[in-house]
Amino acid sequence: MYFLAPEFLWLLLIVPGLVLLYLWLMRRKKKLALRYASLAIVRQAMAGDPSWRRHLPPALLLVAIGLALLAASRPLANIPLPTAGATIVLAMDVSLSMRATDVKPNRLVASQEAAKAFLAELPPDIKVGIVTFAGSTQLVQAPTLNRESLVAAIDRFQMQRGTAVGNAIVVSLATLFPDEGIDLGEMTFGSMAGGRSLDNKNKPPKKEVTPVAPGSYKSAAIILLTDGRRTTGIDTEEASKMAANRGVRVYAVGLGTIDGAVPAYEGWTSIYMKLDEPSLRAVAQTTQGEYYYAGDAEALKGVYTQLSSRVQVEKKETELSALLALMAAGLSIAAAALSLLWFNRIV
């Protein structure tokens, strides 16, 4: 916490002065009662109402004054607040290794069920898009608020050979920033393949991007789930730098076996069954996101539960003056109400 007007903090010295003044007035009241009042009045003054009742309204008023003086210094704090109008892209691995059954019933089904549970927990005003990747990468569902369309897209996943992790990040960024002209084909094969061809004539021109602080873009995030390592496509480090330059956080989820112990099948060697944790950790670190490892279906569901809370809130620098002033007003009203209720006057 810090203050926009710290020069007003010295006003808080008024509070202990008011406490001393209150104590002096209480002593003076007792002396006057002993000097001028009859014995009955003295007894009433000394043992009438419980002491806490006599002191509670003034105490509330003193706290209210302190809060009001603190509000004058305009304190600011980083407070987690709900994200409004955010967009999330789920980039999900559909490579053949996702058929492995070390995660029950298999990796693909477990990831599909976890993704559906994730969608159910998100607020209805957060858009979600879905990108699938293996040897090729596709946007299978543009960002939408329609959860039924998203679930239907998840159920339509088709598995392929290969794992293009970098491509998944690039296509996710192209989805989040459609006006920037991000062209995966041009990045992969050069300008002749991705330039102003007939197929690309309707695409926006490529836009120069001014890098921003990693993780500073609060309106979008990418959740990347994979069970292997990159075998084709754009370099993962290059793609993660593109996300970092746009301030987009990538939350990487590693699924399956770290040591590659799953038996190979259909020509796949165990090296491609092995989860590339260092690469995923680097993606998360570069983009100021986080890395999660999910070794089984329950752990994967837990990861998505954590992610649903992560992407729903963001820390914003918020001025607390209005809140403190409201609290001060509430305490002042409470002090006055209790004083009237107990003593028929405002003490």
Q: Measured between alpha carbons, how far is 236 from 164 in angstroms, rounded to an integer?
A: 8
Q: What is the pLDDT of residue 194?
A: 46
Token pair of 234 as six digits: 């754009």
Token pair of 20 as six digits: 């001393």
- CA-to-CA separations, 73 to 76, 269, 324, 328, 331, in angstroms, rounded: 9, 65, 11, 14, 19
Q: Measured between alpha carbons, how far is 271 from 114 in angstroms, rounded to an integer?
A: 26
Mean pLDDT value of segment 192-213: 64
- DSSP strand pairing (127-133 vs 2-3): unpaired
Taking only the tens place, the pLDDT of each residue in 281-297 is 999 999 999 999 998 88
Q: What is the pLDDT of residue 195?
A: 47
pLDDT greater at residue 11 or residue 81: 11
Q: Give the domain ranges of the chain.
A: 2-79+318-343, 83-295
Taking only the tens place, the pLDDT of each residue in 128-151 is 999 999 999 999 999 999 999 999
CATH topology of domain 83-295: Rossmann fold (3.40.50)
Q: Measured between alpha carbons, how far is 243 from 162 in angstroms, rounded to an integer?
A: 22
Mean pLDDT value of segment 185-197: 63
Report the share of the chain in percent with pLDDT over 90: 37
Mean pLDDT value of segment 65-70: 88
| CA 31 to chain CA mean position, Å | 60
Q: Measured between alpha carbons, how far is 21 from 334 in angstroms, rounded to an integer?
A: 21
3-state secondary structure 148-175: HHHHHHHHCCCCECCCCHHHHHHHHHHH
Range with the poorest average pLDDT among 29-33, 37-41, 313-317: 37-41
Predicted confidence band of residue 335 (pLDDT cuts 50, 70, 90): confident
Tell me if the pTM is above 0.85.
no
Report the share of the chain in percent with pLDDT over 70: 80
